[in-house]
Every structure is written in structure tokens, then in C-alpha cells.
């Protein structure tokens, strides 16, 4: 897989300095987000931290939500790499998916503010961010299918995966806003993962 397989398809290639600027911006964004979540990512501060003019920041990321969704794409790639190194060990597909999601969840717990910023941006995004949000969604789908160990999912299984993603996002939100405990998120994830067995074509 080429290194930039996940970036937007037909945008003009960036010079090194531009690539460096982009990285500095994403780094500053993640850093500010880690401190204080969504609200702490202030565009003026991101611009200053990354040594870029405000107008330039807006040229790279046309809104705060775009910026945070891009930050999420970035983090997701990390996560996917990490997960690949240690694949889940569960016996059934449902177990492996639940295990994978719980592992991701634990990673998010280590940086709850960052999680807050990314997830809030993701669900708050309007139509103008659809392509980017979709990209995040596809990446998540790949991670789940990986955990299931499937290359040719049936439409039913894809539905189940979509529902799992819905649950994952929404459960994260309830956790981040303090309306659900970590234990409850775990239960919800395990509950929804049972859908996988239900849609397994070899279901006994």
C-alpha cells in the first residue's frame, strides 16, 4: 500500500515544505486537542504553534472540523498499524472484533481529550466534510473486517459492520460526555458484536 493511499485522490502533489507545514499543523492540532479537547483546539493557536499564518492554516484545512477529522485520519492510520502487529486472538469473529474495538477504546482512554476532539468533530461534521468523514468510516470498516478475517463479506455482514460502527461512535460519545461508564461501553460493544455471529453464513 502506497504511503498516501488514504489522502485525497487527485490533489496536486505537495512540495516538501508544504508537506512539512501540513505535518506541523496536524501535530499542533493533536497536541492542543490532547490538552483540552475540542474547545482547546483554537485555530489561532494551531496556527501559531505550527508557525503558519492563519490564512495558510485555512488553506490547508478549510475549517476546524476539517482539521480535526484529518487529525483523526492520521491517528487512525497509526492505530491500524499498531493493530496489525498484534492481531486479535479471539476464537470467533465476534470475539476478535470486540477485542479489537476494546483495544482501540483503551488507546482512546489514554488520551480522552484527544478522543473528545476527534469524535465530536466527526459527528458534528456537516455535508462539506462528507468525503473526509467517509474516508474515516472506510478506514474503520477495514479495521473491523480485518479483525473478522474476511475478504469477501456478504451484504448482510457489511450491514452488521455498519451497525457496529454506529454503535462504536455513539457509545464513544456517551462515554465522552460522561453519560456512560467504561464498563457500559464494553457491554454495548460486546452486545453489538453478537450480530456478527448472527450474519455468519456458516452459522450453525
Residues 20-39, mask of contacts with DNA (x by CB under 7 A): -x-----------------x
> Would you say 116 and 41 are in contact if contact means Cβ atoms under 8 Å apart?
no
Which entry of a copy of itself, DNA, none binds 41, CB below 5 to 8 A by partner kind?
DNA
- Examine residue 41 and tell whether it contacts DNA (CB under 7 A): yes
Residue pair 30/79 in contact (Cβ under 8 Å)? The answer is: no
Q: How far is the CB of 7 from DNA (least distance, A)?
A: 15
144 near 161, Cβ under 8 Å?
Answer: yes
202 binds, among DNA, a copy of itself, none (CB under 5 to 8 A by kind): none
* Under rule CB under 7 A, residue 49 binds DNA: no
Burial environment of residue 141 by CB neighbours within 10 A (0 to 12, 13 to 18, 19 or more): middle
Give how many residues touch DNA by CB under 7 A: 23
* CA 133/CA 198 separation, integer angstroms: 28
Name the residue among 161, 155, 164 with its Cα closest to residue 188. 164
Among 30, 65, 79, 114, binds DNA (CB under 7 A): 65
d(CA 106, CA 175): 12
Nearest approach, Cβ of residue 125 and a copy of itself (Å): 6
Angle of helix 112-124 relative to helix 16-40, nearest 10 degrees, comes to: 100
In whole angstroms, how close is the CB of 149 to a copy of itself at the nearest point?
A: 21
Grid coordinates in use for 137? 468510516
Least distance in Å: CB of 55 to a copy of itself? 23
Q: Which stretch binds DNA (CB under 7 A): 14-22, 70-78, 132-140, 158-166?
A: 14-22
**What is the binding site for DNA (CB under 7 A)?**
12, 15, 17-18, 21, 39, 41-44, 51-56, 58-60, 62-65
Amino acid at each position: 500500500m502506497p504511503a498516501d493511499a488514504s489522502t485525497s485522490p487527485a490533489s496536486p502533489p505537495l512540495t516538501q515544505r508544504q508537506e512539512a507545514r501540513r505535518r506541523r499543523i496536524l501535530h499542533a492540532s493533536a497536541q492542543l486537542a490532547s490538552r483540552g479537547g475540542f474547545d482547546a483546539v483554537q485555530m489561532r493557536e494551531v496556527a501559531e504553534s505550527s508557525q503558519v499564518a492563519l490564512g495558510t492554516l485555512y488553506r490547508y484545512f478549510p475549517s476546524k472540523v476539517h482539521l480535526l477529522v484529518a487529525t483523526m485520519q492520521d491517528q487512525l492510520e497509526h492505530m491500524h498499524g499498531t493493530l496489525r502487529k498484534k492481531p486479535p486472538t479471539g476464537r470467533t469473529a465476534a470475539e476478535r472484533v470486540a477485542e479489537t474495538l476494546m483495544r482501540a477504546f483503551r488507546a482512546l482512554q489514554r488520551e480522552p481529550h484527544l478522543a473528545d476532539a476527534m469524535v465530536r468533530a466527526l459527528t458534528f461534521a456537516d455535508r462539506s466534510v462528507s468525503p473526509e468523514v467517509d474516508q474515516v468510516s472506510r478506514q474503520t470498516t477495514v479495521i473491523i473486517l480485518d479483525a473478522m478475517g474476511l475478504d469477501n463479506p456478504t451484504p448482510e455482514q457489511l450491514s452488521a459492520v455498519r451497525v457496529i460502527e454506529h454503535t462504536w461512535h455513539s457509545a464513544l460519545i456517551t462515554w465522552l460526555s460522561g453519560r456512560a461508564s467504561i464498563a457500559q461501553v464494553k457491554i454495548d460493544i460486546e452486545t453489538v458484536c453478537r450480530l456478527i455471529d448472527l450474519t455468519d453464513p456458516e452459522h450453525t
